[in-house]
A and B are shown apart, each in its own frame.
Chain A
Amino acid sequence: MKMKNSKLLTKRDLMKTFWRSFTMEWAWNYERQMNLGYAYSMVPALRKIYGNNKEKLKAAYQRHLEFYNVTPWLSTFPLGISIAMEEQNELDPEFDDASINNIKVALMGPLSGIGDSFFWGTLRVIATGIGTSLAMQGNILGPILFLLIFNIPALLTRYYGLFIGYNVGSSFIDKIQKTGLMDKLTYGASVLGLAVVGAMVASMVTLKMPLKIGSGAEATTVQKICDGIVPGILPLLFTLFIFWLDRKGWKSQYILLLIAAIGIFGAWSGLLG
């Protein structure tokens, strides 16, 4: 894959990011999820871009240690864009470095929405289906085909994603920046990103209250009453509650312990199920 002409980076530098992106989920943590993997993948490129500009380099390291989460096989696409934007940041003194993370975050929701349903929902189902049906008969081809069917497309996506991301980044970010459209792009990206986060809250947070109210034929559950008001209101309220705790400055360890405690208490008392 060709990369657009670059003043600061070579294809070799991007390949370092490619290999390092393999560790995207290695130090996945509850607090900032893939932040360590993302920063790790950015380090060689950032070093090359900023060289002796220590202050900008420090800011860039910190920038990429912020919260990040994306379907891992697609992670190279935002990485490519980030690298192109960091490069622009070094070359153009007018560049607003806040836009680097804005674009990165805006891509997170849509990319994960598409990526999760393609890789988890489609590719893995196909690989598992073929793999298990052979493995059920004790055939060694089962596990081997399972790995090949999944990993070949995953690797190709990872490889091309990086260069496509870099090329998109270097040609458009520059143009958009010069025509003053960055604000528009950031705004549009936040519209899209938040809609996806809203949908993910509805579909991926699970909170059920099977507690019965009344008896006999009149009996109904708390769950049904709540869903009668707004479907999925319990996961939504719970997410807003955690959001509020985080705003109040609760440390991540305490929030995680609280969630575990709520789960255990809920199971013990029969309130949650």
Chain B
Amino acid sequence: MNVYLTAIILALIAMLGNGEYFLGSSMLSRPLVTCTLTGLVLGNLQQGIIMGATLELAFVGSFSIGAAIPPEIISGSVLGTAFAIGAGKSTAVALTLGIPIASLVLVIKNLCFIFILPYFVHRADHYAEVGDGSGVSRMNVLGGFFSVNLPIGLVVGISYILGSPVIKVILNAIPQFIINGLGIATGLLPAYGFALLMKMMINKKNATFFIIGFALAVYLKISVTGVAIFGACLALILTGYSAFNGKPIVNMTTNSNKTNVEDGGIDYEDEEF
């Protein structure tokens, strides 16, 4: 197959992978999916599936949780698989090419995040001010397309045309400390998301609860869900729901739930947090 045609199809596979985020966060970006499709295009479906499994396990720890941005696994998987199958090489080659490509493309992705996407975010604010709902909607659709989806497609397509020798040279030219440093930065970035959350919620009085959550996690090694359970109980106690109200607690069954609302308690039983 013509190399340019292949490059375009691979770019489309990468865009479909990133399209996961337009299609219900449906795991299309995972190596198991993108490598399989790449194998199909390059005429070696079975090899693609096996490489997908290998890369999936290699990238198993990288997913977007909270505010963290993982290595750009889509380009790493598609290009790693394409180069390895093209050269008739083994799964290990896909892995050794895929992982550095993923960290390199993360740099490009972060540049897009910092320099392109904020334009759309602020444009949406403007549309909201003038009451233009279609404008707000457009910024969501176009913002994701131009800031992330299209750049990933371009990177994959162009890289495939350049070929694996050129990509290796580029990868080797980047000093290791930059790649390591950006790795460290991705560990730090969630702090920004949490800082923004704190800005919305925290004040002098309720900062205590932030400290409680932090201390429970570091000293008692309780998971986030565990802290959520303690936090919910603490909230029930502090809002007075669980306070002693002069009635024997054992009799507080079905009937008293209804009267509770008038008493000043919230009907938490049906609250479904």
Contacts and interface: CB of A to CB of B under 8 A. Distances in A.
A27 B147 contact: yes
A253 B56 CA distance: 32
Interface residues of B, number: 116
Contact of A189 (B64, B121, B235): B235
The interface residues of chain A, by DSSP majority, are classed as helix
Contact of B266 (A22, A184, A230): A184
A231 B221 CA distance: 10
Contact of A232 (B130, B195, B218): B218
Nearest to B185: A263
Interface stretch (A2-10, A89-97, A136-144, A216-224): A136-144
B134 to A, nearest CB: 8
B92 interface: no
Given A203-B217, A239-B191, A135 B210 contact: no
Nearest to B121: A29
Contact of A191 (B140, B191, B234, B262): B234
B76 interface: no
B5 interface: no
Contacts of B47: 138
Given A26-B141, A39-B136, A187-B206, 16 more contacts: A23-B144, A25-B64, A29-B143, A36-B143, A135-B52, A195-B213, A198-B217, A199-B217, A207-B188, A252-B118, A253-B115, A262-B185, A263-B188, A267-B184, A268-B177, A268-B181
Contact of A199 (B64, B141, B200, B216): B216
Contact of B211 (A198, A200, A265): A198
Interface of A: 21-33, 35-37, 39-40, 43, 46-47, 54, 57-58, 61-62, 65-67, 69, 72-73, 105, 107-110, 112-114, 116-117, 120, 124, 127-128, 131-133, 135-140, 142-143, 146-147, 150-151, 154-155, 158, 164, 168, 172, 175-176, 179, 181, 184-185, 187-207, 230-232, 235-236, 238-240, 242-243, 245-247, 252-253, 255-257, 259-260, 262-268, 272-273
Nearest to A230: B218
B21 A28 contact: yes
Contacts of B264: 179, 181
A254 to B, nearest CB: 10
A28 B124 CA distance: 13
The interface residues of chain B, by DSSP majority, are classed as helix
A194 B202 contact: yes
B121 A36 contact: yes
A256 B192 contact: yes
Closest 5 CB pairs of A and B: A198-B213, A263-B185, A206-B187, A264-B181, A195-B231
A23 B145 CA distance: 11
Contact of B67 (A30, A230, A253): A30
A195 B234 contact: yes
B203 to A, nearest CB: 9
A192 B234 contact: yes
A62 B125 contact: yes
B45 A140 contact: yes
A147 B27 contact: yes
B273 A110 contact: yes
Contacts of A246: 192, 195-196, 199
Interface in B205-248: 206-207, 209-219, 222-225, 227-228, 230-232, 234-236, 238-240
A199 B231 CA distance: 10
Contacts of B130: 58
A205 to B, nearest CB: 5
Contacts of A204: 65-68, 190, 194
Contacts of B273: 107, 110, 192
A193 to B, nearest CB: 6
A40 B21 CA distance: 14
A72 B235 CA distance: 25
Contact of A142 (B32, B115, B177, B196): B32
A138 B23 CA distance: 26
B264 to A, nearest CB: 7
Given A150-B27, A195-B216, A205-B187, A255 B192 contact: yes
23 contacts: A27-B139, A36-B140, A61-B127, A120-B65, A128-B32, A164-B272, A188-B238, A191-B206, A193-B231, A196-B224, A198-B215, A200-B224, A232-B214, A246-B195, A252-B192, A253-B114, A256-B114, A259-B185, A262-B185, A263-B186, A264-B178, A264-B185, A267-B181
Contacts of A181: 264, 266
Given A185-B266, A260-B182, A198 B272 contact: no
A259 B224 contact: no
A47 B136 CA distance: 12
B41 interface: no
Nearest to A265: B181
Given A40-B140, A142-B53, A264-B177, A194 B210 contact: yes
Contacts of A28: 21, 64, 144
